[in-house]
Structure 1
């Protein structure tokens, strides 16, 4: 009885105190979780409005000669959430599931995307709930990302899911400035606004870039050979440049990952593949020769740390690490993030879940199109073995389907999620 009275006191807090606490919550998700505690808290704190910023349509003029019409772009926000069932079980007994969604113009509505690409899942299982009740699940935001697509236009033939736009990162004042950095066809582009409207500045097209990160108010960019540059988000002034981490750096896939307040660079080393894999400039991607079924997999991870010496040219250095602790890194050209394995039953840290970006040259020459939909059983990437797991400790690897504990975190939706737990706005 005493414990019951103690719990009931939370619902009897003064409304002005509840409102004051809610003002210190820094995200819409936190406000929703706060309101889900009890009916009195929901009555004291209004439902937070969705951001009217996204999806956002922009028209960018470019800074190099062209006879083509000015294309229209649509920038959308994507979020990856980790969902866990309610309760207070020990971490070793818990499960979690990652869901990636794209915001829509409709309040509290979102589109479910494949966890391995930016494509919507058109055929979700019939048992998948139409609403996610915050009273029924523990929901945590893992990463926020953005996609940019060229809109279909009668005068400008483009693909709505244009794969040539590899990655985009927005400045902190994007709502007012429209300032962002994107990689398109391997080229570094700065999107900004001036007195003449929205502009797209294209930089040296001879350098092919692989990834961008927005970290501590700065843009971090890495190219095909591992050269890392740091630019101010407002002036885009080049503040720092780091030569390749490997003096003989080959052409490799490279991904930035933020984890536990630090920035990491994950490198998929194609140097061990010999002539099996090579960079194909025309598509800005890696391809493999026909007939080579198995491609060796190797990843290296570098951590950004402050330099110790006073005579160092750069303030920070990148050192190779072989132990990520309980963290699991997820990397893809779409978005990358890290998470702790302690809430995932049967899983351990110090490994990398990756989406294989290698294209088969035979399919490429035959112009075969990859189907991005699912058939209610497996997503396209899983059916075709494009998702794998790499153990950083012993360098072992294999398709994600060989590791059911890890696979269960991404697909299919767990049974505890599909059970109807009541209706409430997501």
Structure 2
């Protein structure tokens, strides 16, 4: 059979094929075949929709070094204190699209869009630290790219904003944004709203996600709730995770909902270079939601998969997709006790032997998060 001229495919067939091309890089590759293919599929919009939002946050407590002398005859008045009595302040934020992908079957990277069309920042998918070893100019179309997951980053000058999720999930026309702030507060923005609105609730939340087209939030007891954007209320969706740890992460994979439960050793702490005293992670448990029976089932092994718990995105990756990686059944996560070291704050937990440590203590595991030699050779 002779070679076929793919540029001569019927227009209706090109349109049909284009309906199944969803990834940003796949769309660019499709359009680069020839002129007919390029005109059959519109150019993907990368950052024309960037959202600029105002977020109301709790003020960080300021140390008070003033000497207070009790006055027995009258009460002192400080107008400066009265002006600062509000516990909230408003900051500007920007919602930015980000993509986690595997490049050339060897490196797991996160590509964060910039204000320049078609330009990306390359960062570590776990620690969110920019990777500086790459050349200044890198054409990602020169390498095979497999998209793992997509998400959004809430860029702000304050560290109070922990995470943001968007609906619709994979559409340039953003209608709603749910933001998780420190102290477990939830804020919601809907298209047309002037400001974000707080979802009043007595519970404090550890993580948020989009599951089956809805906003979901998990509280510190392991109860997942559905966030109703109309009434600004949370409605319980699952029972709590019994005998749970101290921090929960939501993971959505193949229309299934998982919870990664993190256990801390409160008696053993370490001081990282930034001067924060944090408890150390000593154990993990993974649960999968049984929708039929409305219960959590503990997962003893991930088999040939790796679970990545990032600052913004949580996702599974089969080890067969990463050449040179032959160790599955592990959890990669951000461990503050290793910040400042060559591990960039990335830790690994082995579900088989319950061992935990810096990624550097697991031979070969750090290679997938480092720039490969063929990137930096030139």
TM-score range, shorter chain: 0.7 to 0.9
- In structure 2, C-alpha distance between the alignment counterparts of 1:194 and 1:56, rounded to whole Å: 10
Q: Which has the higher contact order (CA 8 A, sep 6+)?
A: 1
- How far apart are 1:262 and its partner, in Å? 1.4
TM-score, normalised via structure 2 length: 0.78
Q: Who is 1:352 aligned against?
A: 331
Q: How does 1:108-257 map to 2 (within 5 A)?
A: 108-121=118-131, 124-125=132-133, 128=135, 130-134=137-141, 136-150=142-156, 160=157, 162-172=158-168, 178-193=175-190, 197-204=194-201, 207-247=203-243, 249-250=244-245, 252-257=246-251
Number of the residue aligned with 2:356: 397
Aligned equivalents of 2:228, 2:5: Cα separation in 1: 49
RMSD after superposition: 3.4
Say if 1:116 and 1:355, in contact at 8 Å, map to a contact too.
Answer: yes
Which of 94, 97, 107 aligns to 1:77? It is 97
List runs of 5+ in structure 2 lacking aligned partners: 59-84, 271-275
2:284 corresponds in structure 1 to 299
Count of residues in correspondence between the two structures = 346
Quote the residue 1:88 is aligned against: none
Determine the C-alpha separation between the residues in 2 that align with 1:196 and 1:352.
39
Distance across 2 between alignment mates of 1:226 and 1:392: 20
C-alpha separation in 2, matches of 1:177 and 1:101? 20
CA contact (8 A) 1:147 1:167 kept: yes
Where 1:245 maps in the other structure, the secondary structure is coil
Q: Give the deviation of 1:104 after TM superposition.
A: 1.7
Aligned CA distance change for structure 1 residues 394 and 14 (closer, same or farther; 3 Å): same
Which residue does 2:375 correspond to in 1?
417
Structure 1: stretches of 5+ with no match in the other structure: 85-94, 151-159, 279-284, 289-294, 309-315, 360-379, 421-426
Structure 2 distance, partners of 1:212, 1:101, is 21
Please state how far the C-alpha of 1:233 moved relative to its aligned partner. Answer: 4.8
Whether contact under 8 Å (1:50, 1:108) holds in the other structure is no
TM-score by length of 1: 0.70
Tell me if structure 2 keeps the 8 A contact 1:129–1:418.
no
Q: 1:176 to 1:197 in 2, by over 3 A?
A: farther
Structure showing the higher strand proportion among its residues: 2
